[in-house]
């Protein structure tokens, strides 16, 4: 048995309490060794390219007019979406190297798992494009050489096609694959799970088992809703434990809980019961009675995390910690605090929740938030739609430009949904909303509050400007090199413009006065460890983190030791049940947040 | 005789005017091409700046030269646009300025 995490922000090792790496390590269990690994997309991409470099160069030489140097440089470029693209190839490799017949995959939070599950088709699609690139060579070989014999590069193409097709089939075979969906007993999680399961049903990858984690006795109402929504699937309930289950003994206990047929919430003795006198929602009730108006003023911490000239405020953290709720609450507080500033609350997590949190309808356009200050707008980015629109508008131009360097068939690349699409579109939207293309031009927004996808993909988004710049510069240098033959054209002018905008965004992201990232976490150990790693990654990216919000702090509950978060302020957001939703309750809730004292 | 003379003169004149007009048209074409290639040169320089192959100072110098030439071409075109007589002189001026360009 091999357990593998494909989430770029791994927690599998934290759960086992064993340090893991990209190569499987044995973990002792009562029934022999379990192997476990945490994939690393970057090195995996490097290895794959290394193994197939000769074939890839051959295909590029045959299918494009690029010389060897251009091809070499192309092969060294980083790929957006490498996590999802490489995961399948890595899973296949690890399974065959370890001779494991059974794989348990710990996937990334919702949106990127959906992307991951769609990736086998993208592999096949990529194989088709490479195949078309070879077609001209085959034709010439047949015409002038008499016969064409498949070589190494044809094998690579055939392999990719077969792998993509085989994985896609296996995913849809109930005898060989099962997807278990894990959710929290909360309205937001229910809405997200409904959307995801619907998408997977449509993709013909049905989810038969839904695991509701951390159930407490008070969750009866939402549990009933979950039972109604997923009556056709196997439901399993895991009780909230006083301490987060970590390490082998605790995981064994969780496993036993999962084996029980249809356990009902509240029957497990370990379930955390409501203590006598424990308030349901007391912090907010207190705030309500003293609240001077509908919008409560947040404390001084707000000015500390969002100074006047702040342009971009990211909120990010592990899946399920309450990022979106915190982002919406902060956006409301900021909109009230700075009534003259134009503020946009932008969700870049493809599994959006801001409409559910604010309890208003939203879409892929900037809309006013009903009941909130007038200066606040909100938008849930729809990357697929944006990409389709872009393709509609630019397919001709890009096809033309690609046609200058490549033979027929490469234009088909545009028909594939590119891996990393969500981050690419989010990047382009950030450029549109915070960077004015003309110096001195009107900026659409003074401040954009970004509700990011969970940790791993929030980091991928922040790495995207650099990556996009390397592609932009690659194309610029190609155009310059071949300008006598192909001319420069509109594309060159646009690439220059993009390069300038990306550099300005890059400078903006690294300016601690104008861009800040606030990490949202919980008191439990797993989110806490992930937050520590997130802070390290953000430091490497030179992105300022003024504060960590510890969400759902119970009055008598665990509090994270502050030294774990370096120099960041700690803001405690009190636990509320049910979690706050709707403009009014969010505005009241955010008023109860407090900066933890030394 | 007179009639023949008129026909010959006519064809010479008309042919001559046509010849001049052709010259002007091709000169304007060249100008346009020249303007296009100057713009492309400017774009190429901007590309090199983005790629770090050219610094801002070098770019500013080159930009000044290119913009000055573009202005010259514009002025020349404006001169041509003001009537048949100056068309000829415009073409002449352009020829001179081309010669100047090439000798630089």
Instruction: Please report, for residues A127, A185, A349, A452, A458, the alpha-carbon distance to residue A323 in angstroms, rounded to integers and kept in the order given.
Output: 38, 16, 10, 8, 12
Does the pLDDT value for residue A369 go beyond 50? yes
pLDDT of residue B10: 46
d(CA A426, CA A431): 9
pLDDT of residue A408: 59
Q: Is A214 left (phi over 0), alpha (psi -120 to 50) or beta?
A: left
A272 vs A545, higher pLDDT: A545
Peptide bond connecting A43 to the previous residue in cis, omega within 30 degrees of 0: no
pLDDT of residue A444: 85
pLDDT of residue B90: 37
Please state the rounded mean pLDDT for residues A283-308: 59
Q: Which of A2-11, A183-192, A261-270 has the weakest average pLDDT?
A: A261-270
pLDDT of residue A471: 92
Q: What is the pLDDT of residues A450-460, one digit of tens each?
A: 999 999 999 99
A492 contacts in chain B (CB < 8 Å) = 43-44, 47
Confidence of residue A261 (pLDDT cuts 50, 70, 90): low
Cross-chain Cβ contact A495/B47 below 8 Å: yes
Q: Min CA distance, B51 vs chain A (Å)?
A: 6
Residue owning tokens 């030269």? B65
Tell me whether residue A409 is exposed, middle or buried, using C-beta atoms within 10 angstroms of its C-beta: 0 to 12, 13 to 18, 19 or more: middle
Q: Which residues of B touch A (CB under 8 A)?
A: 40, 43-44, 46-48, 50-51
Which of A487, A488, A496 comes nearest B50 by C-beta? A496
pLDDT of residue A405: 66
Please state the rounded mean pLDDT for residues A438-446: 75
Does the pLDDT value for residue A288 go beyond 70? no
Beta bridge partners of A237: A212
Please state the rounded mean pLDDT for residues A188-199: 96
B37 vs A413, higher pLDDT: B37
A295 vs A120, higher pLDDT: A120
Which of B44, B50, B51 comes nearest A488 by C-beta? B44
For a pLDDT cut of 90, what percent of chain A falls above it?
A: 64
pLDDT of residue A140: 78
Does the pLDDT value for residue A441 go beyond 70? no
Please state the rounded mean pLDDT for residues A194-219: 94
Q: What is the CA radius of gyration of chain B?
A: 20
Q: Which of A273, A213, A264, A221 is nearest to A242 (CA)?
A: A273
pLDDT of residue A262: 55
pLDDT of residue A286: 37
Distant-in-sequence, close-in-space partners of B61: CB < 8 Å, separation ≥ 6: none
Confidence of residue A576 (pLDDT cuts 50, 70, 90): very high
pLDDT of residue A487: 80
Return mean pLDDT, chain A.
87
Among B33, B38, B43, B48, the strongest candidate for a mutation testing the A interface, having the largest count of A CBs within 10 A, is B43
A473 contacts in chain B (CB < 8 Å) = 50-51
For a pLDDT cut of 70, what percent of chain A falls above it?
A: 89
Most confident listed range (A338-342, B75-79, B91-95)? A338-342
d(CA B49, CA B47): 5
Q: Min CA distance, A441 vs chain B (Å)?
A: 21
Q: Which of A69-78, A258-267, A346-355 has the weakest average pLDDT?
A: A258-267
d(CA A583, CA A332): 8
Distant-in-sequence, close-in-space partners of A160: CB < 8 Å, separation ≥ 6: A123, A124, A126, A127, A130
A120 vs B5, higher pLDDT: A120
Confidence of residue A264 (pLDDT cuts 50, 70, 90): low
Torsion A535-A536-A538-A543 (CA) sign = positive
Return mean pLDDT, chain B.
66
Does the pLDDT value for residue B26 go beyond 90? no
Cross-chain Cβ contact B43/A477 below 8 Å: no
Q: Which of A239-248, A381-390, B81-90 has the weakest average pLDDT?
A: B81-90
B48 contacts in chain A (CB < 8 Å) = 480
Instruction: Please report, for residues A218, A336, A450, B39, the alpha-carbon distance to residue A516 in angstroms, rounded to integers and kept in the order given.
Output: 37, 19, 10, 40
Q: Which of A228-232, A428-432, B37-41, B83-87 has the weakest average pLDDT?
A: B83-87
Cross-chain Cβ contact B47/A487 below 8 Å: no
Please state the rounded mean pLDDT for residues A245-262: 86
Does the pLDDT value for residue A268 go beyond 90? no
CB A376 within 8 A of CB A369: yes
B43 contacts in chain A (CB < 8 Å) = 488, 492-493, 496
pLDDT of residue A371: 94
Q: Which residues of A touch B (CB under 8 A)?
A: 472-473, 476-477, 479-480, 483, 487-488, 492-493, 495-496, 499-500
Residue A418: DSSP 8-state:
P
Q: Min CA distance, A70 vs chain B (Å)?
A: 15
pLDDT of residue B22: 57
d(CA A80, CA A243): 38
d(CA A36, CA A34): 7
pLDDT of residue A260: 73
pLDDT of residue B4: 43
pLDDT of residue A418: 77
Confidence of residue A598 (pLDDT cuts 50, 70, 90): low
HEC letters along chain B: CHHHHHHHHHHHHHHHHHHHHHHHHHHHHHHHHHHHHHHHHHHHHHHHHHCCCCCHHHHHHHHHHHHHHHHHHHHHHHHHCCCHHHHHHHHHHHHHHHHHHHHC
Does the pLDDT value for residue B12 go beyond 50? no
- For B51, which residue in chain A has the nearest alpha carbon? A473
Please state the rounded mean pLDDT for residues A183-201: 96
Locate A76 and state its tokens: 């060294």
For helices A41-63 and A68-76, give the axis angle rounded to 10 degrees.
160
Helix (H, G, I), strand (E, B), or coil: what is residue A331? helix
pLDDT of residue B82: 59
Cross-chain Cβ contact B51/A495 below 8 Å: no
Does the pLDDT value for residue A37 go beyond 80? yes
- Count of other CB atoms within 10 angstroms of residue B97: 17
d(CA A401, CA A373): 46
Locate B4 and state its tokens: 């023949």
Confidence of residue A291 (pLDDT cuts 50, 70, 90): very low
- For B43, which residue in chain A has the nearest alpha carbon? A493
Q: Which of A454, A197, A421 is nearest to A324 (CA)?
A: A454
């Amino acid at each position: 048995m091999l357990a593998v995490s494909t989430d770029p922000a791994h927690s599998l090792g934290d759960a086992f309490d064993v340090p893991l790496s990209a190569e499987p390590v044995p973990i002792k269990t009562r029934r022999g060794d379990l192997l476990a690994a945490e994939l690393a997309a970057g090195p995996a991409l490097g290895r794959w390219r290394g193994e197939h470099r000769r074939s890839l160069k051959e295909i590029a030489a045959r299918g494009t007019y690029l010389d060897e140097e251009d091809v070499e440089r192309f092969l060294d470029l980083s790929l957006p979406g490498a996590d999802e693209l490489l995961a399948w190839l890595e899973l296949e490799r690890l399974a065959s190297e370890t001779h494991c017949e059974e794989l348990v995959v710990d996937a990334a939070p919702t949106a990127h798992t959906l992307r991951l599950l769609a990736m086998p088709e993208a592999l096949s699609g990529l194989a088709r494009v490479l195949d078309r690139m070879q077609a001209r060579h085959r034709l010439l070989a047949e015409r002038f050489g008499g016969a064409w014999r498949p070589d190494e590069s044809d094998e690579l193409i055939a392999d990719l096609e077969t792998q993509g097709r085989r994985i896609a089939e296996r995913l849809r075979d109930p005898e060989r694959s099962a997807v278990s969906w894990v959710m929290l007993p909360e309205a937001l999680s229910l809405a997200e799970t409904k959307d995801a399961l619907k998408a997977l049903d449509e993709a013909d990858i049905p989810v038969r088992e839904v695991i509701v984690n951390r159930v407490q006795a008070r969750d009866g109402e939402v549990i009933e809703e979950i039972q109604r929504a997923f009556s056709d699937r196997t439901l399993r309930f895991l009780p909230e434990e006083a301490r987060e289950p970590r390490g082998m003994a605790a995981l064994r206990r969780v496993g036993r809980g999962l084996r029980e047929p249809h356990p009902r919430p509240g029957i497990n003795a370990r379930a955390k019961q409501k203590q006598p006198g424990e308030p349901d929602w007391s912090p907010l009730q207190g705030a309500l009675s003293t609240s001077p108006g509908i919008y409560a003023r947040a404390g001084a911490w707000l000015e500390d995390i969002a100074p006047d000239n702040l342009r971009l405020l990211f909120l990010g953290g592990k899946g399920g910690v309450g990022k979106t709720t915190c982002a919406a609450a902060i956006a409301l507080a900021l909109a009230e605090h700075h009534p003259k500033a134009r503020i946009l609350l932008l969700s870049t997590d493809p599994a959006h929740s801001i409409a559910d949190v604010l309890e208003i309808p939203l879409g892929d356009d900037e809309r006013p938030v009903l009941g909130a200050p007038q200066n606040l707008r909100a938008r849930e980015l729809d990357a697929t739609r944006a990409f389709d629109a872009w393709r509609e508008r630019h397919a001709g131009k890009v096809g033309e430009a690609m046609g200058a360097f490549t033979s027929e068939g490469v234009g088909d690349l545009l028909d594939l949904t590119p891996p990393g699409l969500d981050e690419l579109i989010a990047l382009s939207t950030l450029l549109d909303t915070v960077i004015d293309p003309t110096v001195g031009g009107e900026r659409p927004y003074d401040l954009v509050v970004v509700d990011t996808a969970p940790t791993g993909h929030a980091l991928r988004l922040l790495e995207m400007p650099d990556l996009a710049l390397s592609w932009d510069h690659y194309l610029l240098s190609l155009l310059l090199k071949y300008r006598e033959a192909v001319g420069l054209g509109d594309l060159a002018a646009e690439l220059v413009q993009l390069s300038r905008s990306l550099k300005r965004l890059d400078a903006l992201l690294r300016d601690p006065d104008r861009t800040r990232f606030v990490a949202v976490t919980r008191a439990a150990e797993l989110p806490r460890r992930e937050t520590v790693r997130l802070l390290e990654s953000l430091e490497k990216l030179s992105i300022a983190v003024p504060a960590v919000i510890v969400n759902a702090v119970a009055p008598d509950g665990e509090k994270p030791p502050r030294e774990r978060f370096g120099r960041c302020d700690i803001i405690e957001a009190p636990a509320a049940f049910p979690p706050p939703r709707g403009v009014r309750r969010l505005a009241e809730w955010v008023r109860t947040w407090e900066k933890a004292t030394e | 005789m007179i009639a023949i003379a008129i026909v010959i003169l006519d064809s010479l004149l008309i042919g001559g005017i046509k010849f001049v007009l052709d010259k002007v048209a091709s000169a304007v074409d060249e100008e346009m091409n020249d303007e296009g290639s100057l713009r492309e040169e400017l774009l190429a320089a901007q590309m090199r700046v983005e790629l770090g192959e050219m610094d801002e100072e070098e770019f500013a110098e080159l930009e000044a030269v290119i913009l000055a030439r573009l202005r010259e071409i514009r002025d020349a075109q404006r001169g041509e646009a003001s009537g048949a007589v100056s068309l000829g002189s415009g073409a002449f001026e352009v020829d001179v300025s081309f010669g100047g360009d090439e000798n630089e």
